[in-house]
Amino acid sequence: MPFLGETSTLFGGFATLDEYLISQSIRFNDDDSAYMLRTPSVAGNRKTWTFSCWFKLGSNLSSFKHLFNAYTDASNYSYISINDQDQIAIGDYISAANASEVVSNAVLRDTSAWYHLTVAYDSTESTSSNRIKAWLNGQLLTYSSSTYPSQNYDSLINSTETHNLGRFPSTPKYFDGLMALPNLVDGAALDYTSFAEFDADGYYNPIEFTGDGVTGLSGNVVPIMTGFTTPEGEVTGTTTANAQVWNIFDGALSGTYYVMAGSTGFWQYQFDTAKTIVGYYIAMPVGDTDRDIVDWVFEGSNDGSSYTTLDTVTGESWTGFRNQHRYFECDTTGSYTYYRVTVTANNGNGSYVHVQNMQMVEASTGFGTNGGQYDFNNSSFFGQDVKQEFTAPSVAFTDSAYDSTNTTSYTFSSMDIGAADDDRYVYACVGSSNTVVSPLTFQTVTIGGVSATQLGASNADPANNLQPYAIYVAKVPSGTTADVVVTLNSSPANCAVALYRAVGVGLGYVDLQSDNGSSPNSVSVDVPANGFILAHGNKNGETIRVTMTGVTEQYDFGGENDMAIFGGLNTAAGGTTQTVTVTTASGSYFGHLAVRSHQ
């Protein structure tokens, strides 16, 4: 429903799911502290990976729900979770700070629907916004906030730390709900089409993922060295001026680093068994940029004396890349035990060359080193192309009301909610305005005694938060009228409500996009087949009317104290991207909050 107006919200509803079975699932009951874990014995590709799973939420909304994480301690973990605002949150929390985090506009509040989430993490991407991508039910997520990992950043996913499914060890916190077929792909960043598909009728179905045809990169195949020959292999190189040559392979991107005596030289790692290295990462330390390597040759050998050139680099600049890996792909590959970097020129220093860190990688296929699939019970059913059967939704505006009493609780008696139906949902679009400069928020809404779920909320007065508005929904199967009770955190000047009756809808997820500005303003929403849009807004100026496009206006009314609500409906927008625009003659506050559901 877009709330559109001086501030607005957009919601795209979905047709109901009459028959949809995901057979291969497991129940996570947070009361039982249920979870699964695995601790990899070797590290995989920590820069590039994909996680995919199907899940269905339990009743504990507005609380942290961790789907998947790799955990060292409470100050160091990488995670895929649903936060206490019911938004998807993905990131790396390292040294008690966010090295990265993206938080979805999407809000997940439907406990009756299955969701499918695909997360593609690829810190090797040069464009920061491509480093964390996520799809929910086949729709690319947008983010309300985003801090992307630095290029070539190593997350803890695919490390040798404990990987948890359905649990966050600190506190601890547990996922509550159902989960089906989690997939971890180590070494490749894939989109949702590897795990699900839209069929010829436009419906979203799970498909089996086997890893066939998937290629990527392994993780670092050089162990974390603590000495020249420990834990395995051997590191050699040109005479050391500072630290030791094995520090190149100690895994650290800061702190102690190797300084080579002279302006040219080499370092080398010998594997115990032959490897086919397809690429490598090198990092320079902070400071003394004239010591950076500029020209070098990467070589392979099986006897330590006869070398084959695999990659030649000239004129390399490290500007903007300090304590940060850069990737170099081999022009030629082969199976070798010795791999050597021979530096032929540095950046001008006549006495020293420095290097912070190096990693080497092989090609990976399928699930990769640490990837895999959790096979739950009844696996013969999951992965088959299951047809989803939808019916077209029926959505209609039924009633509206206004109360100018100053109180924290408003009761709108005997409001029309339309004909009774076992599958009837009632949407309540509410708005209010405060009399004093004090933040005002909605606390609860009940419809016919049924507690309603908030799908989205914002404020038409972003400076002082005096004019809140929100959309709530509740399943109310019986009765043709209902009392609607709205409570707020303090006594405002007024409250208004508008109701819709909907049958044959699925709530799916809700996508929130907030903005504030001057009139006109618009929001866009992708509407699935048989979907619908509701638009609802709250504006300052009770006598100022609005003009809406993209929906058919259903109400536009107000009362005292500078507040009016308005809204519209579009049931013919299924399968399109619909833009809803609201224009007002005047008004100090204007914005939008886009709310979209998907099932």
pLDDT in tens, the chain (599 residues): 333 333 333 433 333 333 334 455 677 776 677 778 888 888 889 999 999 999 988 877 778 888 999 999 999 999 999 998 889 999 999 999 999 999 998 888 887 778 999 999 999 999 999 999 999 989 899 999 999 999 999 999 999 899 998 889 988 888 888 888 889 999 999 999 999 988 777 778 888 887 887 888 888 999 999 999 999 999 999 988 888 999 999 989 888 999 999 999 999 999 999 999 999 999 999 999 999 999 999 999 999 999 999 999 999 999 888 888 889 999 999 999 999 999 999 999 999 999 999 999 999 888 888 887 765 444 333 333 333 444 567 889 999 999 988 899 999 999 999 999 988 999 999 988 887 778 889 999 999 999 988 877 778 777 788 888 888 888 899 999 999 999 999 888 889 999 999 887 755 445 555 555 566 667 776 666 667 788 888 877 677 778 888 888 999 887 665 678 888 888 876 666 667 777 765 554 444 444 444 33
- List, in order of start, the domains of the chain with CATH numbers: 3-14+391-594 (no CATH), 19-210 (2.60.120.200), 234-365 (2.60.120.260)
CB neighbourhood size of 42 (10 A): 14
- Specify the 3-state DSSP secondary structure of 357: strand
Look at strands 409-416 and 424-433 and give their pairing.
unpaired
DSSP code, position 246: G
Cβ proximity of 580 and 1 under 8 Å: no
Residue 562's region, left for phi above 0, alpha for psi from -120 to 50, else beta, is left
CB neighbourhood size of 21 (10 A): 12
Structure tokens at 232: 């395995």
DSSP code, position 245: G
Rounded CA separation 43/597 (Å)? 38
Q: Which residues contact 2 (CB under 8 A, 6 or more apart)?
A: 8, 9, 10, 11, 523, 525, 533, 534, 535, 536, 537, 551, 568, 580, 582, 592, 593, 594, 595
DSSP code, position 516: E
> Is the pTM of the predicted complex or chain greater than 0.85?
no
Q: b vs e for 377-405, b when ≥16 Cβ sit within 10 Å of the residue's Cβ?
A: eeeeebbeebebebeebbbebbbbbbbee
Chain length of the chain: 599
Cβ proximity of 121 and 49 under 8 Å: yes
